[in-house]
Structure 1
């Protein structure tokens, strides 16, 4: 498939996909939407049928030139001159040039009087003290023209760069529009940002003028804004003047000319100002990257590209029009301020707010009081409202509100439902793009349904795809845009050759914009965001997107915020000789709600929910509670800064953060150093032993504190950790604890009681009650590990009330000789089973190798005259000698061909070693055929403790020698993994042959090991419940 081919996503109705939208628009609203009107116009222009949005988007990316030409023609009030041909020169996204013969003025288009009447409201500026400043379109246009004329008299003009440290109010709006009306380039920051952070942004631009609010507000913190402005002015040698936007006073240290906004407005003459037009790609705004990994990048955006992209997003995707009142919670440091500003071009009244969120319901109150129709917010504010128990629909009159837009982070499924249930049924539109394109790649759609957790669609004329390894993927992949688009930045300021610009967006996939986000596309064409790709975690070879973790944690009420990062830890056993000998572990940082604490129970729930709803790979190695997470000045969490702190590295640019002090607390957190913490002495008393075990468990699981009644397995324990724990306990206490006892006493309190009360058995039991219950028991046979610990999730997922007993292998602790034959194991286990159930009918089950023993147990019980209620085999394979000779012959022939090919390609020096290795393998096969242990263990067991390695090798011998015979005591229930283990061949060839009374087969997605972990374990448990008659 051509990786540059336009993407087409098939659209399926909810009754086919089984998914129900959280919101569906009405036919009347769809018919009246601007998207419907433009589609009709495009049909006339092109002759294309365009029956639905899928067809429209497909056309818009294949014929993007035609799309943009038609959109410019259709857009009411868009004033330009020159020629709309050519639309675009070049097909390469990195170098394409749009509308090179067109000229226009950004501010003139925002303040045009044809899209809305002169007396239509244009701006309402709200202040924390209750003040309101209201301007009509004519009043705003006149004020902008007066200021622009006054600035031109000061010599400001095309090519100059202007910067502003501004509050989100009417004066900031007037300033930005006046500067851009002159053809100068505007860059903005917010007063709450630090001086160093602002200097890093503004200094490379060599600005001519600085606009700034200088008067103090009651909600300001830290140094006075006037002092910060003075320090900033001193750090900008190119600066010729400072314009004060309010009545504050600057210190006498300011050496540049000082002007006041009021004086300039009084001096300006709107009638004398000429609204000149500039080239389509004339620089309009210079925006900035977050700067958390170094100096911020200065991103230059063009006039025309910004304007027509925003017109498209506002009119077609958001259905904004005259009569709408939009409030987006933002500051002048964030691109959403610029995005909202451009809504003036669609005749929208914009609402601004200068002040803090003094109470959780502050923004809901503003939306109600100002009769806002479109409210722009963030997932964080919605979550804060939910956690605080705010009920907007009951507390406020939200009758005017028709849509909510959310951006800045991933918006999770439950938040869509909360808005529907606690705000009102309306489209909650997840929009996502970035400062990089001053717009959106995915966003809303007035004609499409809203599905929980997803953006409704991809932006028109932007061929957004999910890529993996340089080509399209059907799963989670990198967000890329394949085709050219007009809002692509002109480049980075100061990057004359474009090397840094290329490295940022095009180095990964030449000619294709690579954005740095992870997405997946739904069958309906909606888009699910999975977080930043540069924060992707590699968990034991598996790539895990942080967004998948956050989505699960969002549903745990104790958690306010979460961040997951990777920590590099040197392998202590390797010493310091090899700097490359490091291992990675995943650290989860949690900010908890008031009254919540990171208990063992909460940590267990986090691990359990992540394993169940995502996968075991999503479960963190360390869980740490912190007071705050690092946040940039535009309100976004900084994973890069947290990652540096967790790894003890210096922060690239602390000034880019709003709260850099939180990094010291993260860096010094004791839970990050649990592995090196000295354990307390074991002591003589039970209290001392419990303290020792508690500290050891905290070190083992990487979470503190752990309660003494927390369950080892709920915390994430498994057989390998259990073996390590009991080995260390033996070394520390001199007491040998059988592995089985940890299932009987899985808490610190109970384990300490067993040790101190001398209640340990003389040898490891082979029968353990894993779960209490009522009725006839289920007997679960161990796998090749010798234990049933790996099946605890399966046991816990059963709905059947029956008790469950686990059969463990003899010799599991290395204290007794292991049994080498399946028949002997079965006979031994039957003796144990009869101690709790003397007579049938019996229910037996086994996972993997355990299925062979379960099968033999059923055979022996049948021969003894007992009835078998259930024989349940979970993906049980057999030795190749149990398969038909034709299948064995084909496998042998394939093996011979593979070895011959290897021999032909091997260097001569390596050939003797290879042949010797193959002969040794054949010799081991012969040894196992006669019931003897192989001389060389399988390679994957090398990392296991000796006792566990010996156990697996024992089971390998038993599997090799066992030959299942025909079985007629009842049907066999067999659950198989969809992904087979090719090395063992197809076991169904044997099971179909020996199951004389029937074979019931169920297939579950995933591989062999996936069957006993979330989410697949739920399907396996359901099959087992059905077999038990539930």
Structure 2
């Protein structure tokens, strides 16, 4: 067997009758069946293109006829008989005839037999009829958990009405909206809740204090002409507009689900179930109605101390058939139950409401293997559950448990954005069809049309699909894996929450200007809501915000943490950058034990750390980069330290002294930063060090992520430009830089073999260093050029467009040029160089060069380089710059950078001028550099998104200069992203492989 050079390679060779395709793949990532499917899909695609070149790309087929049949038909073959013409209450009535004296409902010390429950529900139904309740009439029910709750629900259904569950614990404003939006004509409640209810126009019935009048009605079953296509209930879920939306569920859908439950969950084998969830949570349907269809009892648990009550019930010796529970509650139970107590007789946990992870089930698999663990997936719009997966004795390496396969009379489709089925293993949006679909959203016809679409795989126009917004994929065995939400909706402790609703309410606070709410899981297993906001009021407290939201939202929608920010971080296209939001309360800290500041200097630096990083309680041993610091924050940090202490520390100092203790010690000393060129990024390790040469901007902070992901046995040093501190003049030629840098690295490593790495312009310097070392007969074991290019591949145009030059040049290739020159000089010193690595570095003759370099171009280059490093576009007009005086150009860039949020607000103009001088010197050096042939080898790492102006030469021009072997690797990303996480992991994987093999 051979070792694949890349994760996946397709080689195509043309022959007389067509093409021969060879697939080479990493067996750690792919198995044979996956590659075989991929090859078939590729062949199908090519055949379809040839057959119909005019076909729309999105409609070109990937799947074979057999695969399409499997995905659309075989895995959706779920047809099963159920009482399709029966309503829920009618199914309960049939069971009453079979077991009239069996216990049906238990709450605290009160219980009802099936006969008693049916009689009371009938009496209530007759009373509701007298109040005008008929099929399709909505009846609200707002009661505490009790026997009355079950009587009320059944009574509404028997009268033909559809119930609207209203949790009395919801905030006053939310209940008020739900009552008004639903327009319920009758409201069932309890005497104790009357004062807390919002004003409304519905007729009132108190199930406790009014019972004397209700029980005067007949206890006989009713026939009110309700059918299975009538509404059974309307349940409200979170809405993206800030208002909850009512989902209309039919009797037929509930009947299909409950009928399937009776066969799948085997409730009849034991004693029923517990009700331990809110009346407003559709999971209650399973535990409440399902046992009543098979003659078993429903044990209602009190709301106070709910989990403790559930623990007590499970340990009471009662053989419950099932317990419906969320993953969060399942995990809490595992903490509460001592190992010797897990001899509970419960037959099954039906787990739903949010994603079920491997960590949730480990305890139960180990200590209670007799209990069935069933993962049940299903949005409210498809009646509680539409997909299940039984865990059994299977072992899982990690991640989430699959959601399984569709239940009876349900179809699942995983589709792309063009409603085409995606292949096995490929994520797509999950669509649901079948008998369980809701009618739609109450009074929301446009939203209903958007989310409930015609089924494109069915000839019947009445068949629809529900667009879930969930991301999923098929596994090889036909089970489905849930991958998360496509939109901004999350599930916390089983409750589906539209983050936009919380944001809308929070934004209504008079002192809130901007806000964003996200779900975070900084501590594994602890998913929580965090609100970020911008406010001009310094007196606004977390407690005030929490109380404000509690008046308008249920408790589960109130964020656990609130973080105030000066501004919300934005992506380049102007949207809120949720990934850049800081962790609240300093959750993301280093692994070091917290040690508080001990001196005034440490206290000041700690406050600066906290302000810059957006965290609290920073310890003196906490590492700036481990706390989430990056290049832009480093500039801000060092700028504030300079302002506070009136001491100018080089930016690279942060690599050598990344903790509060180290910086304080440095500030308290004579601040001797030793060699101004050489910076120890990571000085530990027993292998020869890796030397990383700066790109065109001059500093080496760009290598922070790379150093963290490289083999930890290798120390990493950076070589930065002279002049960054404004105290020294920058070097102005690649040859001079290479010579100085060789002297610097020989202070750390007097003898070869050397490892040189250069990104962009740094790759070119490394190349020259290797040249000079070779002339000294000094070995260069590794010469890596990352995104470095050479200049002769593109012919010079007769006229040079300066704007084109600016867009092309951007300073990308400069680091590679210096690396190349270093290799040249090493070569001249007869120092053997084994390998250079250039990271996305172009040889100077690959780029179209202007006849002369004007300052406006250099300032524009600095603007684009800053923008690229920080992932934003700094909009600076080259024409505007050319109309300004030289010093005004730099000032214009400085002001625009701050205004557009790329440069720190506290950056000084002198720091900007220093950066500009370094860039100008480096650009000049690059412009005049003439690379020579190099006898050694080269490792060249390129970005997949390269400049369109560069001819497609995989060696980026170095092939005509390097006489030794050239290994090339392409990393997904662009010039800037491949050097940063997460893409840098792929880059360092290639470097680590080469270091291991050489």
- Give the TM bin, normalised by the shorter chain: 0.5 to 0.7
| Alignment-derived partner of residue 259 in structure 1 | 211
| Alignment-derived partner of residue 876 in structure 1 | 787
Output aligned runs, 1:300-319, within 5 Å. Answer: 300-312=248-260, 314=261
| Alignment-derived partner of residue 288 in structure 1 | 236
**In the superposition, relative to structure 1, how do residues 17 and 566 fare at CA in structure 2: closer, same or farther (>3 Å)?**
farther
Deviation at 1:335, TM superposition (A): 1.8
After superposition, give the CA deviation of every residue in 1:540-579 in whole Å (9 maximum; x if it has no partner): xxxxxx78xx99xx9xxxxxx99999999xxxxxxxxxxx
1:734 aligns with 2:623: no
Match of 1:176 among 130, 153, 156: 153
After superposition, give the CA deviation of every residue in 1:785-819 in whole Å (9 maximum; x if it has no partner): 42332222332233443432222222233433333
Q: Distance in 2 between the 1:795 and 1:868 partners?
A: 20
After superposition, give the CA deviation of every residue in 1:834-853 in whole Å (9 maximum; x if it has no partner): 11221122222233433332
Match of 2:194 among 199, 220, 229: 229
| Alignment-derived partner of residue 658 in structure 1 | 554
Larger relative contact order (Cα-Cα within 8 Å, sequence gap ≥ 6): 1
Deviation at 1:107, TM superposition (A): 0.6
| Alignment-derived partner of residue 58 in structure 1 | 72
Q: Distance in 2 between the 1:795 and 1:734 partners?
A: 30
* Aligned 8 A contact 1:776 1:803 in 2: yes
After superposition, give the CA deviation of every residue in 1:853-880 in whole Å (9 maximum; x if it has no partner): 223322221220112233334x332134
Output aligned runs, 1:43-442, within 5 Å. Answer: 58-59=72-73, 70-71=79-80, 74-75=81-82, 78=83, 80=85, 104-113=86-95, 118=99, 123-127=104-108, 131=109, 133=111, 135=113, 140-141=117-118, 144-145=121-122, 147-148=124-125, 157-158=134-135, 160-203=137-180, 205=182, 207=184, 209-214=186-191, 226=192, 228-230=193-195, 232=197, 235-239=199-203, 241-244=205-208, 258-260=210-212, 264=214, 267=216, 269-270=218-219, 272-290=220-238, 296-312=244-260, 314=261, 323=270, 325-327=272-274, 329-344=276-291, 347=294, 349=296, 351-356=298-303, 358=305, 362-369=309-316, 370-385=318-333, 389-390=335-336, 394-398=340-344, 400-407=346-353, 409-417=354-362, 419-421=364-366, 423-424=368-369, 428-440=373-385, 442=387
After superposition, give the CA deviation of every residue in 1:1-46 in whole Å (9 maximum; x if it has no partner): xxxxxxxxxxxxx999679xxxxxxxxxxxxxxxxxxxxxxxxxxx
1:519 aligns with 2:471: yes
Output aligned runs, 1:411-560, within 5 Å. Answer: 411-417=356-362, 419-421=364-366, 423-424=368-369, 428-440=373-385, 442-444=387-389, 452-457=399-404, 459=406, 461-465=410-414, 468=417, 479=429, 481=431, 487-492=437-442, 498-499=445-446, 501-502=448-449, 517-524=469-476, 525-531=479-485, 533-534=487-488
**In the superposition, relative to structure 1, how do residues 441 and 194 fare at CA in structure 2: closer, same or farther (>3 Å)?**
same
SS of residue in 2 equivalent to 1:844: strand
Q: Distance in 1 between the 2:472 and 2:556 partners?
A: 33
SS of residue in 1 equivalent to 2:636: helix
After superposition, give the CA deviation of every residue in 1:182-225 in whole Å (9 maximum; x if it has no partner): 212222223333455434323455545443344xxxxxxxxxxx
- TM-score normalised according to structure 2 size: 0.67
**In the superposition, relative to structure 1, how do residues 326 and 212 fare at CA in structure 2: closer, same or farther (>3 Å)?**
same
Q: Distance in 2 between the 1:141 and 1:972 partners?
A: 84
Q: Distance in 1 between the 2:473 and 2:381 partners?
A: 22
After superposition, give the CA deviation of every residue in 1:652-683 in whole Å (9 maximum; x if it has no partner): 985452349967984889999999xxxxxxxx
Q: Distance in 1 between the 2:29 and 2:616 partners?
A: 47
1:940 aligns with 2:876: no
Deviation at 1:230, TM superposition (A): 4.5
**In the superposition, relative to structure 1, how do residues 399 and 927 fare at CA in structure 2: closer, same or farther (>3 Å)?**
same
Deviation at 1:239, TM superposition (A): 1.0
Match of 2:627 among 696, 701, 715: 715
SS of residue in 2 equivalent to 1:300: strand
* Aligned 8 A contact 1:391 1:423 in 2: no
Deviation at 1:832, TM superposition (A): 0.7
The gaps in structure 2 that reach 5 residues or longer are: 1-26, 33-64, 505-511, 570-580, 583-596, 811-846, 866-873, 875-896, 898-902, 904-911
Deviation at 1:830, TM superposition (A): 0.7
- TM-score normalised according to structure 1 size: 0.65
Q: Distance in 2 between the 1:640 and 1:147 partners?
A: 48
* Aligned 8 A contact 1:206 1:236 in 2: no
Q: Distance in 2 between the 1:300 and 1:967 partners?
A: 74
Deviation at 1:702, TM superposition (A): 1.6
* Aligned 8 A contact 2:152 2:207 in 1: no
Output aligned runs, 1:751-900, within 5 Å. Answer: 751-761=663-673, 764-768=676-680, 770-873=682-785, 875-881=786-792, 883=793, 888=794
Q: CA RMSD in A?
A: 5.4
* Aligned 8 A contact 1:565 1:642 in 2: no
Q: Distance in 1 between the 2:501 and 2:920 partners?
A: 38
* Aligned 8 A contact 1:516 1:533 in 2: no
* Aligned 8 A contact 2:287 2:298 in 1: no
Output aligned runs, 1:578-617, within 5 Å. Answer: none
